[in-house]
Structure 1
Amino acid sequence: MSYGKWLGASLGWSFGGPIGAIIGLALGSVVDAMSSGKGNPLLGERQTRQSTRQQPYRGSQSRTQQQRRTETTSGDFEVSLLILASVVIKADGVQDKRELDFVRQQFVSMYGKDRANKAFKLFKKVNNQIVPLRQVCKQIQQMMDHASRLQLMHFLFGIAKADGMVTDDEERQIYTISGYLGISSRDYNSIKAMFYNSRDNAYKILEIEQSATVDDIKKAYRKMAKKYHPDKVEHLGEEHKKGAEDKFKQVQKAYEQLQKERGF
């Protein structure tokens, strides 16, 4: 039995719940590699939720509470994203290179090339593990607000669509994740509609029925624009605003489409 791996997992469960166990096991494998002379640990693989909080600050040593909170929350989101992405990619039994490339590209766009490469190396280790999905999602639900969880859902659909289509297996897996995360069916269908083409997608994105009146549409637009406004995930840091902007643009596009169809 590999001592380093299971020590890492045990420490993870003690200090970070199921997510800590997964990351601890991944980091433990690095310890094993060192002890067997296979190489040195990668700096990026130490970017767990706890170590992210402990990284030295370059510049003024005084840090505001908001800065610390943003750093911690961004670390929570990054680790949660890594784990759930690995679940979705394996949902259909085929790990398509386009999906893996999408994950890497998203990391690069959010974190920059250097940090993204390190995060992706950790992702590949997490990807080799069996994830206790329900427990992981419940932990994410407890530590992450609603807007951040919606952002995770948007990212997961993006992964599934990276190879050109969302398979039934992938859709079922994301639906399961949404339930465990406490995402309502309306919110789930709204985000899902952003990745499909159908005549009623605009209505689904705005979370209304096709029988909605013009006043209903306007009211729904104001509500959804507020829900998906990029400022809602400002606490995650600038790197996560792009994904929020994509959702916001989809809401605007849906509203403009109904304006054209309904003539108002």
Structure 2
Amino acid sequence: MIAHLKSLLRKFDEKNTETDSIDFKTGLAALLVEVMRADGHTDKQELDSIEQTLITYCDLDITATSQLLDKAKQLVEQAIDLYSFVNVVNANTNDVERIEIIEFLWQVAYADGSLDGQEDHIIRKISGLMYVTHADFIQAKINVQESRIQ
């Protein structure tokens, strides 16, 4: 019994070490992946949107972007909540940058041509955790909708 408990505690310590190693780029990628996965489908357009965001915003090449996405997907699969991802993004951004990140999330949600209720829900949740006001949340959504029309 004690050996089993020690084993569980060791696994818990390993997971905490993994969580502590999340950097800004990984946290951002994980949030983008969360939105992509929210509707239960992984569309190529959404994946392309994430890749383009990471290449442009994080100044990565395609190889580094691919590696980052693989790591983010793995972390998202193992995560029980969004806290570790949002926490690192919040620690490395200001209010204006957080609103811009919410726009990136909306771009992923709209990349496949439709907005699923689960995508809207996860972006709303992330927005709240990032302390983005409701007005800025809505404006970010409108900005992305208008940019898709033009």
Equivalent residue, structure 1, for 2:96: 147
State the superposition RMSD in angstroms.
Answer: 2.8
Deviation (angstroms), 1:137: 1.9
Say which of 1, 8, 11 aligns to 2:17: 11
TM (norm. structure 1) is 0.45
Q: Say whether the 8 Å CA contact 2:28–2:85 is kept in structure 1.
A: no
Q: Give the drift of 1:163.
A: 0.7
Deviation at 1:81, TM superposition (A): 1.6
Structure 1 residue 88 corresponds to structure 2 residue 35: yes
Mapping 1:104-123, distance limit 5 Å: 104-110=51-57, 111=59, 115-123=61-69
Per-residue CA distance 1:119-145 (angstroms, 9 max, x = gap): 222212321323321343244324421
Alpha-carbon deviation of 1:157?
0.6
Q: In the alignment, does 2:106 pair up with 1:160?
A: no
Greater helix share, structure number: 2
Structure 1 pair 109–122 and aligned structure 2 pair: CA distance change class (3 A): closer
Give 1:80's aligned amino acid.
G
Question: RCO higher in 1 or 2 (8 Å CA, sep ≥ 6)?
Answer: 2
CA distance in 2, matches of 1:12, 1:130: 10
The alpha carbon displacement at 1:91 in A equals 0.4
Shift of 1:191: 0.5
Q: Which residue of 2 aligns with 1:184?
A: 133
Rounded to whole Å, the distance in 1 between the matches of 2:89 and 2:51 is 22
Match of residue 240 from structure 1: none
TM-score with structure 2 length normalisation?
0.74
In structure 2, what is the equivalent of residue 137 of structure 1?
86
Unmatched runs of 5 consecutive residues or more in structure 2: 1-6
Q: SS at 2:38's partner residue?
A: coil
Alpha-carbon distance between aligned partners in 2 of 1:182 and 1:8, rounded to the nearest angstrom? 30
CA deviations on 1:85-120 (whole Å, 9 max, x unpaired) are 1110110011111111222233334425xx232122
Alpha-carbon distance between aligned partners in 2 of 1:154 and 1:94, rounded to the nearest angstrom: 20
Partners of 1:156 and 1:101 in 2: CA distance:
13
% of aligned pairs identical?
23
**Is the Cα–Cα contact under 8 Å of residues 100 and 140 in structure 2 kept in the other structure?**
no
Which has the higher Rg, Structure 1 or Structure 2?
A: 1
Amino acid at match of 2:130: L
Question: Does structure 2 retain, via aligned residues, the 8 Å contact 1:175–1:188?
Answer: yes
In the alignment, residue 195 of structure 1 is paired with which amino acid? V
1:7 CA displacement: 7.6
**Matching residue of 1:170:** 119
